Amino acid sequence: MEDRDLRVSDAEREYVGQLLQRAVGQGMLSLGEFTERMDTALAARTRGELNSVLFDLPGIRVVGADHAPHVRPQSVPVAPAYQAGEPTVIRAKMSSVTRKGPWQVPPRLQIENWLSDVTLDFTSAMLESQVVEITVDAFCGSVTLVVPDEATVDLNGVETTGGSATNKVRTGPNRGGLHIVVRGRVRFASVTAKHPFGTGLKRMLG
């Protein structure tokens, strides 16, 4: 059996998806091309089918008689175990993630959002620190931060490409309550900081 006829795993499909995402970020693929190739990668059953979406992308290792790019299982990165002091990572891929209620908020968060929606509601959260640093890497999705009335949010460190960073709350100065600092990049995605629904009405009614 030739190498291109070997079956592929979910881990290999996911890794190819990461390569395609990187190609979009570097301007090698349009959003339409990414969507088409991602559909092919998710449906791929063999190495040959999976390699077909990478064939014309530079930087992919070429092996085999057919000179097709080859993704080896051992090439799939393994997520490291986070040590004390490192950020807590929230990963969302083609799904939705919501944190609300009395959830534990660490001083540092890292959001890796790919074709997904992430909502973090801080109104009833249990804070380990009054200042929370969030690093965002979002592609084709949304990140929504819902904060209490006295909170402040800084989105000045967010780099956008075909996306948006919208702050509907106070940016500062910090009044001694929750202060969130967001950095990172969003590509064809959005980051929004806002108050809970009805906050403006409650403020009007005193």
In this prediction the pTM is 0.59
The answer to whether 139 and 18 have CB atoms below 8 angstroms apart is no
User: DSSP labels for 70-81?
Assistant: ---GGGSPPPPP
- Single-letter code of the amino acid located at 56: D
The answer to whether 108 and 133 have CB atoms below 8 angstroms apart is yes
- Tens-place pLDDT, residues 139-190: 999 999 999 988 999 999 999 999 999 999 998 766 668 899 999 999 999 9
- Tens-place pLDDT, residues 60-101: 543 333 444 444 433 333 333 333 457 899 999 999 999 999
Place of tokens 């001083």: 107
Query: Which of 34, 28, 136 has the alpha carbon at shortest distance from 89?
Result: 136
- Torsion 24-30-35-39 (CA) sign: negative
- Tens-place pLDDT, residues 120-148: 999 999 988 888 999 999 999 999 999 99
In the three-class reduction of DSSP (H, G, I as helix; E, B as strand; rest coil), residue 163 is classed as coil
Both tokens of residue 57?
């992308």
The answer to whether 160 and 112 have CB atoms below 8 angstroms apart is no
Q: Give Cα 61 distance to the centre of its chain.
A: 26
